[in-house]
Amino acid sequence: MNDKIRAEVKRNEANMIAFRRDLHRNPELSWQEIRTTNRVVTELERMGISYRRMEPTGVMAELVGNRDGKTVALRADMDALPVTELSEGLSYKSGNIGKMHACGHDAHTAMLLCAAEALIEVQDELTGTVRFIFQPAEEITEGAEAMIQQGAMQGVDNVFGIHIWSQMPTHTISCNAGPVFASADVVKIRFTGRGGHGAMPDACIDATVVAAAFVMGVQAIVSRETDPLEPAVFTIGRMEAGTRYNVIAENAVLEGTVRSFHPRVREKMEAAIRHYAKQIAATYGATADVDYSYGTHAVINEEESAKLAQGVVVSSFGDDVLYSDRPTTAGEDFSYYLQEAPGCFALVGAGNPEKETEWAHHHGRFNVDEDALVYGAELYAQYAYTYLTGNPK
């Protein structure tokens, strides 16, 4: 633990909370984070940290130590969600109707800026460079790839990220080695039958019946075709069929998502869904077209990086703060950074029933226990400091 970092984070806690509230009051959706980008740039200029604006939004900044060494990247996402905020009596409630920071990205950005300011205090002690990645468009899983394409991971030796987590108690931090978030794929299936009059079903092939049969039976893929020790989730979230009450549907479209932690399970699920859709369609004399799109990879924490983060947590906050949370089948595009360099992703607990901050992410009443922000900011900074001072070139 570096005492200068801790003191500086604590000194700037009020400013960090105020910044987070400002972003919460002014949420911007993916690829629309213009004001947010400008606010980040203003803070970096105030600190004297060099930066580069990314296209169309986002920022990459660097703090270079006095001695050459490795480069560690710290990432925070910035975008909000198309969710209407339901909280009442909140002084910083979203002022943009239908838009809300319902996942904690406002907190991530504020914490990383606070960490950057704290690291300035130990810049002379750093052997290497800290790169700060303020990423747009995580919610639509496009921002990480765009940042990487623009050079965000060029020359990076290790990468670290944080997510505020309302499902864990405040004053806890989890950073287990291995799977943390699942891969997240998108599936679209179009069944084509033969439409006609609702009173003459014998002359038709009802695409609604085909789609319904698929939905009712497809979970057998998970229960009977995948290894029960390697989990998978297949959810159909949307179904569209028909045009009128007395017209038998010629087409039916299903949309869903597949989540898994292992590439072999991912490949198995894709092959099985394609096979099952075509066989069900053939049973009824219909056809099936399957569009399977790979989304984010699974977030798999590299063991040495996870151990480093765990050591930082214990050293900075104590054994009782270190928490072992289960992997979640939610997706996170931080996985793209881990394809470029080893690293890890930590969860910082922010759930507190007394403050009503235990609501699920993406819910209209989601909020963050702001006591968690100092934990996240210090963890960002102490991780970078520990990695660079312990890993000379």
What percentage of the chain has pLDDT greater than the value 70?
A: 99
**267 Cβ contact partners less than 8 Å away, ≥ 6 residues apart:** none
Q: Cα angle vertex 34, ends 29, 37, to 5°? A: 105
Q: Would you state the pLDDT for residue 390?
A: 85
pLDDT tens, residue by residue, 232-255 = 999 999 999 999 999 999 999 999
Mean pLDDT of the chain: 96
Q: Would you state the pLDDT for residue 391?
A: 63
Whole-Å CA distances, 385 to 71, 79, 309, 346, 355: 11, 27, 11, 16, 32
Pick out the residues of the known binding site for Mn(2+). Answer: 103, 105, 139, 163, 362
Catalytic residues: 79, 138
Q: Would you state the pLDDT for residue 339?
A: 96
**The CATH fold of domain 3-180+298-390:** Aminopeptidase (3.40.630)
- Domain range list for the chain: 3-180+298-390, 183-296
User: What is the torsional sign of CA 190, 195, 199, 202?
Assistant: negative
3-180+298-390 shares its CATH topology with 183-296: no
Tokens of 8: 């500086």
Taking the C-alpha atoms of residue 123 and residue 130, their distance in angstroms, rounded to an integer, is 10
Radius of gyration of the chain (CA): 24
What percentage of the chain has pLDDT greater than the value 90?
A: 98
On whether the 183-296 domain is CATH 3.40.50.20, my answer is: no
Would you give the distance in Å from CA 22 to the centre of its chain? Answer: 21
Pick out the residues of the known binding site. Answer: 103, 105, 139, 163, 362
Regions in the chain scoring below 70 on pLDDT: 391-393
Would you give the DSSP letter of residue 244? S
Could you tell me if 367 and 356 are in contact, meaning their C-beta atoms sit under 8 angstroms apart?
yes
